Amino acid sequence: MIEDLQDELPQEQPKKKERPFRRGLFLFVAFMVWIIYAAAIILFTMPRMIAAVRESGIAEIIDSYDEINAAVRMREVRLCFVIPGSDGSSTYVICSQKTEKTGASEYHDIIEGLLRGPGKEALSIGAITFIARDTTLLGLTISEETAFVNLSESFTGSGSSWGPGGLDTACRQITATLQAYDPAIRKVVILVDGKELSV
């Protein structure tokens, strides 16, 4: 009897295990088909997209925007440089060039421009600077027709390769530059790390 019931009960079939390899292979193939499809669309539409961008003139608009942005960040300044003579003499020249706005006063921008050295136009006439290359501006104050310019220690090495008087020439560059911008400045006091420089 028990045997008859067992014959009548449905036998459970063993479950087939899904093969992860087949599923992974399907996903990989689907991904590759999608990549090929996307690449084909890009290849076929790219020439039209490039032509559309050229015809729209957007590239020129972006270029002009960059030029306007650069012009806003620059300031036209007049700086004093030196043309050394073969006999050891020096001729001071005032050259106009552009310098980047620092966000501080125009006086700061002028001195920062001077510390960067002569531009192409100044160099083309033989102008150089006697100010030591690694000199930095620590501070600048204008008070009662006097400019106080505080420079880093490096300034004391200015003009050393030109012999005695080189430091004095560098100081005159700073004075002439500030007075070219603001004739109301009667005196320029140069400080090195906060202490007055004696030349």
Is pLDDT at 13 greater than 60 in this prediction?
A: no
Residues 6+ apart with CB under 8 A from 4: none
Count of C-beta atoms within a 10 Å radius of residue 75: 17
Tell whether 7 is covered by a domain: no
How many domains are there within the chain? 1
pLDDT of residue 101: 81
Tell whether 114 is covered by a domain: yes
Tell whether 156 is covered by a domain: yes
Is pLDDT at 151 greater than 60 in this prediction?
A: yes
Q: What is the mean pLDDT of residues 143-163?
A: 86
Tell whether 23 is covered by a domain: no
Supply the mean pLDDT for the chain.
Answer: 82
163 versus 157: the higher-pLDDT residue is: 157
Tell whether 45 is covered by a domain: no
Is pLDDT at 58 greater than 60 in this prediction?
A: yes
Tell whether 9 is covered by a domain: no
Task: Compute the distance between CA of residue 80 and CA of residue 63 in angstroms, rounded to an integer.
Answer: 33
Tell whether 3 is covered by a domain: no
Task: Compute the distance between CA of residue 101 and CA of residue 120 in angstroms, rounded to an integer.
Answer: 19
Q: Is the pTM of this model over 0.85?
A: no
Tell whether 64 is covered by a domain: no
Q: Which domain holds residue 187?
A: 73-196
Task: Compute the distance between CA of residue 90 and CA of residue 124 in angstroms, rounded to an integer.
Answer: 17
pLDDT of residue 70: 55
Task: Compute the distance between CA of residue 172 and CA of residue 166 in angstroms, rounded to an integer.
Answer: 10
